[in-house]
Structure 1
Amino acid sequence: MNLTVVTVVSGRHEHLREQIRGLARSTRPPDHHVVIAMGDHRIVDVVADADTDTGTATVRYIDTVDGRLPLAHARNLGAQVAVTQGADILLFLDVDCIPGPEMAATYERACSDSANARSLLCGPVTYLPPHRGRWSEEELIAHTNPHGARPNPAVGAVDSGSNYDLFWSLSFAVTAPTWGQLGGFFEGYTGYGGEDTDLAATARASGIGLRWVGGAHAYHQHHAVSSPPVEHVDDIVRNARLFHDRWNRWPMEGWLAEFERRGLVARTASGRIQRLGEPL
């Protein structure tokens, strides 16, 4: 099967280099790697500098939207390019993630099983500590410690899931026909938050399954974060409202509750989320 990795990126140049190196040393390197650069013209040079024996990735450039990253549109464009290049399996991998050596092969086996073909397939994600220099394969394996909020089946096992809110777009695979049935990410979302939860809600509403794939390890490289992500409060409020309009429930409840506790947002009498100082 033709397996294509789709990565969207703005900045994070060294993280992208590490991902490309990881793909090159995979037991099953991808047939293609599609990289969508959002408002970052340097990505072409970064990819060329990180070129390996697997060949240079296909890079497409798109502009930001009023300074916000169009993540949903970028991922959809990446999938479109991949399908045009003949992809049977789309493997979406966040730019911060280094693939484990068996990740692509494990996803491919899961997608090849007819019981999983019409599903979102999700592997475990380990959050790495700060690190100087390149990560070796041995170091990654030694640091394997998947995030405890999501299932982590035994290697070789594929478990069915029912809590679609646990879906993350950091690392997942889907067959091209199932992607076509999904219709991709809803492009009304821009900036931070919401689009991956929306995709999972679309999958559930469409009868598309959720599968947890044991052994399809991805390793998330360290970068500074805030909790809650107050620098993205405007994006999160806007995208949460859009999600509520589409699905009649609120996503990102933990973040919204903490923003409310800090006086950054409030709930109106009608139950809407109101940004502090925003006109009614």
Structure 2
Amino acid sequence: MRIAVLTVASAARRAHLERQREVLAAVAPGVVRVEVLLDAAVPDGIRDAEVHTLHVPPGPHGLRVGAGRNAAAAAAIAEGAELLVFLDVDCLPGSELIERYTDAAAAHPDALLAGPVTYLASVQRPGVADLPFVTRPHRARPALPAGATRVAEPGEYDLFWSLSFAATPATWERLGGFHDAYEGYGAEDTDLAWTARTRGVPLVWTGGADAYHQWHPVSSPPWQHLDDILRNGAAFHRRWGVWPMAGWLEAFAAAGAIERRGDAWVRAPRA
């Protein structure tokens, strides 16, 4: 099976991208690699001669992550890829990630496949041989034994995230890719999952397809993304009739930053 690993990246994550390249070269040297750079201009020296590199510049409201992944998928399919593995730039692939996604795709060719993700601590810089010993999958999502798969229940589609997932080209085309309404942070992965559920595409939890999220500073709720969350949340509401990211919206509201007006969330007036 011809496999492509697809990553979108920006200059802000250059160190994470370079580390991902190193690990991918060690654990999956035979895959096709497609990277999409999302900055307004391609940073000097960031291209890798072994990688198909594309450029999708930002829109008026921020980085176009979904559009970048769509471009990567189209390029990989044009190269003859038979399995698309989407790996966030922050994530390192486990040694069995490609094998487990490949096996799961053979058993569930019409499914959206999702493996577990371990969040590394700030001090952790594991080598390839160390990764099995730091595996601690995020507890909010199913983590099955290696080699096991399970079709998600309808209510579990909200648990899908785009840090690590895979699909055959036929499934990807059935989904239609990421919706282009989203720019900046938030909602595009939930939108893809809801599209899958609406179109009858199974979401399959894939044991052993472990990825490892490299540490970077975060805030909870993510104040730096407040306007993105309001804008993308409104776009999601227009498509699906509900607001995503409810926990963050409630936290912003509790802090007095936003308020509900009818069916909308808006910034609260300032004194």
2:182 paired residue number: 189
Q: Distance in 2 between matches of 1:224 and 1:30?
A: 33
- Out of 125, 137, 160, the position equivalent to 1:146 is 137
Q: Give the conservation status (yes or no) of the 8 Å contact 2:41–2:57.
A: no
Q: What secondary structure, in the 3-state scheme, does the structure 2 residue paired with 1:46 have?
A: coil
Q: Cα deviations across residues 169-188 of structure 1 (Å, max 9, x unaligned)?
A: 00000000000010000001
Give me the TM-score of the superposition, normalised by structure 2: 0.94
- Going from structure 1 to structure 2, the CA distance change for 1:42 and 1:242 (only over 3 Å counts) comes to closer
Q: Secondary structure at the match of 2:46?
A: helix
The answer to whether the 8 Å contact 1:44/1:59 transfers is: no
What amino acid maps onto 2:123 in structure 1?
A: H
- SS state of the match for residue 200, structure 1? helix
CA contact (8 A) 2:42 2:55 kept: no
Q: Does the 8 A contact of 2:6 with 2:73 survive in 1?
A: yes
Q: 1-side partners of 2:40 and 2:15: how far apart?
A: 14
1:62 aligned residue: 56
What code does the residue aligned with 1:96 have? Answer: D
Pair 1:18–1:108, CA change in 2 (3 A): same
Q: Which residue of 2 aligns with 1:10?
A: 10
Question: Residue 143 of structure 2 aligns to which amino acid in structure 1?
Answer: N
The answer on whether the counterparts of 1:102 and 1:216 sit within 8 Å (CA) in structure 2 is yes
Structure 2 stretches lacking a partner, 5+ long? none
8 A contact 2:66–2:180 mirrored in 1: yes
Indicate the residue corresponding to 1:131 in structure 2.
123
Is the contact between residue 10 and residue 40 of structure 1 (CA under 8 Å) also seen in structure 2?
Answer: no
2:69 matches 1:75: yes
- Which whole-Å CA distance do the structure 2 matches of 1:13 and 1:166 have between them? 28
- Identity rate, percent: 43
**Within 1, Cα distance between the matches of 2:54 and 2:66?**
15
SS at match of 1:68: coil
> Following the alignment from structure 1 to structure 2, what is the Cα–Cα distance between the partners of residues 179 and 87?
12
Q: Counterparts of 1:41 and 1:212 in 2: how far apart (Å)?
A: 37
Displacement of 1:276 in angstroms is 2.1
CA distance in 1, matches of 2:266, 2:29: 47
Q: What SS is found at the alignment partner of 1:148?
A: coil
By how many angstroms is 1:271 displaced?
2.6
Q: Which moved more, 1:202-211 or 1:33-42?
A: 33-42
Aligned-pair Cα RMSD in Å? 1.6
- The answer as to whether partners of 2:56 and 2:67 remain within 8 angstroms in 1 is no
SS of corresponding position for 1:256: helix
Q: Which amino acid aligns with 1:216?
A: A
Name the SS for the 1:87 alignment partner. coil
Q: Kindly provide the CA deviation profile for residues 60-86 of structure 1, in whole angstroms up to 9, marking residues without a partner as x.
A: 112111251011111111111111111
Secondary structure at the residue paired with 1:277? coil
Matching residue within 137, 153, 159 for 2:150: 159
| Matches of 2:44 and 2:198, distance apart in 1 | 38
The aligned length equals 267
2:111 is matched with which residue? Answer: 119
Counterpart residue number, 2:33: 33
Distance (whole Å) between structure 2 residues aligned to residue 130 and residue 20 of structure 1: 20
In the alignment, which of 225, 231, 238 is matched to residue 245 of structure 1? 238
Misfit runs of 4+, over 4 Å: 40-44
